[in-house]
Amino acid sequence: MNTIIRDARPEDAATIAYLMYLAGRGHVRTSVLDLLFPGEPGPTPERLEKVEGLVRAQTRSMFHCSFYRVAEVDGEVAASAGTYHEGSPSIKEFMGALEETGWDQGDFEEMGERMGPFLAVNPSIPDDALIVENVATLERFRRRGLTSTLMADAVSKGRREGFPRLQISCFIGNTPAERAYRKVGFEVVDRYTGDAFEYIFGCAGMSRLVLWI
């Protein structure tokens, strides 16, 4: 098995979109992307096409491929992870990327209503932290250490760029994810809960994990 870690490219967009869906679902019944985009829940072609559009968009939002690294196994993208920091990219870029895919003001208002329960418990982004997000591995490539490899790669990036800490969040109760993050030095520092969140996702809320460099 030949594994390399490399920057994501636009041609990886379809796989990254699916991996984002998996990352947003974790071990629960609903993915964050089910709230972000309307329609029948699940990794439907329509939903994944919209996410793929953000990965390849001209506007570089936090979904853009330029913020992602992938693990490639024997020439196939098997896992991915994104990193960004406060203000780069900003909400403005995210909205701009959605506008590129055809969104209008009504779409943004409806998204705000759907995302409310998630945003109420989603950890805030500190100014001095490198955020690691959307870490996922395709099912057939799991148990090969790809998550740990990508996490270690993110930690190396944080050190190179002078961040004092890295931050990642996951659903409360996602034991495999927490175990993988702890393996590279992250520790749970906060847990955020909400009744509306639990009703939608089937778990209490979100855990915030930090690694100090």
Sketch out the chain's domains with CATH numbers: 3-127+134-163 (3.40.630.30)
Q: How many helices (H) and strands (E) does the chain have?
A: 8, 7
Cα–Cα distance measured from residue 136 to residue 155, given in angstroms and rounded to the nearest whole number: 16
Give 25's contacts (C-beta < 8 A, 6+ positions apart).
31, 32, 33
pLDDT at res. 100: 92
Cα–Cα distance measured from residue 118 to residue 82, given in angstroms and rounded to the nearest whole number: 19
pLDDT at res. 112: 95
Q: Which tokens in the block code for residue 148?
A: 């740990």
pLDDT at res. 9: 98
pLDDT at res. 86: 82
CB atoms within 10 A of CB 68: 26
Q: Which tokens in the block code for residue 87?
A: 């203000």
Question: Which residue numbers in the chain have pLDDT < 70?
Answer: none
pLDDT at res. 18: 99
Residues in the chain: 213
Q: Which of 189, 188, 186 is nearest to 155 (CA)?
A: 186
∠ CA 170-20-145, nearest 5°, is 70
